[in-house]
Chain A
């Protein structure tokens, strides 16, 4: 590691990832709003434009939120363990380069095969030019490459910093707890668990994506090379479901560190938390077959594997992490700033989205909900109503933690009600439309879809207004910090737990 990369301000790397990710999210929210307005009949997008925007919205949102998670988690681990800043910048550059290519394919080539680009849709009777298929696939490949670089760096860092697999997995604490306690050793801080689990599972998902990417690129170059559609679908969802799911598990690391600062209580790693993440390590990889329930040609045991993994994945979330968050807040004398409001509300969003997801993951119910608007309902709940809130909650935690000029109560209420209310209305219309069997991915929806699309648009507009107010409030706090030339390092933040790290990175 060179001195020049070490001297690069660590927080700026996080800011680069987070600000890029959040700016993309807001931009793509506007794209989503345009789609809902078109479905409502308020404006009219052509089918070509609608599906190109839908592809951009889907692929872009996943990439944007992944960027937020990558930056946030990188920063938290970098506080504990030395890591190369230049490698982090490479990962960022590759991922953002991929997003640019995907955006170019959608904006200029009108590539509109959806972010899942299920084989053979991109290639058969396309309304988009051949170059846009290549641009999209190369763009997705770059995103996967950037992701892989991040995963490798993260995995190497946590293994080096916290005693290898045995230390990170808390092996001794789980199997010989008394001897472990007597030795005076401590488990790694909780944010190490998501870093390890996501990096390891992320590499497996990236390997699958690379396999699919190569197969699709070969087919693009020589269409006479056939692929098996069921195989491609399985691989697509193994990667796609996992990557979309990784987001919330990455961003919960920010809550593990951010929320205790407001509650003035520690969120420590324990045997139970470690065991919960052992479960997540496995369940994350096995839940994807619930996307293929309606493919009756799929071996039935795989469907039940997906069902079982989907169900039990709720235990680490509901029993360990979110319950731990609630216990942290219970009678704590919590300091309710915008950061804690967003992070706390995000945990509720995670549970609500999880309930919607588990209902959809029940095979008998999926028969009636699959590919209706119930699907975007539940993933918007935990991407918008949880992951995104974790990310902006963390940004406000960073600002509020160093500010002596807090947000007024009226402003907190204004922002809280508009942002959370907007999200609530937006996702509620998806659930209601899904229960009314309105199909997803229709540019022109059958009744009563347009009515719900109209109310969903109202929700999105309220949300965007709330975010605009939150942005200016954030800028006010930030300007205050600049003018005061405050360099206080988040005084009420838990200190980095370097005692278990073999090589601590002191720079923040």
Chain B
């Protein structure tokens, strides 16, 4: 059991699951998307990105790229939520943007996981 791989895999997949959890549900219903879950998703995504840093191989570079994309989208979603939804209640249009941004981040995370699993399957150890 490779502790390094366990930790890395854990955070990468955890990032994807949290992201999915936030994104799933009717885009017009605010109560279906918890902002704490978005917060958790951002944090775990950041940790996953940091863990992927420093890998010079091709696979490593692509993993970092997908992670950065996911980070960017989620932070953008959180920023929009903060700026527009601070004191007054949010309108559905803005909320739609937030949800779609997180949806994009989800795709990046899925790609990341697929590449990661694929690389692991390919290795003969």
The answer to whether A and B interact is no
Chain A residues with CB under 8 Å of chain B are none
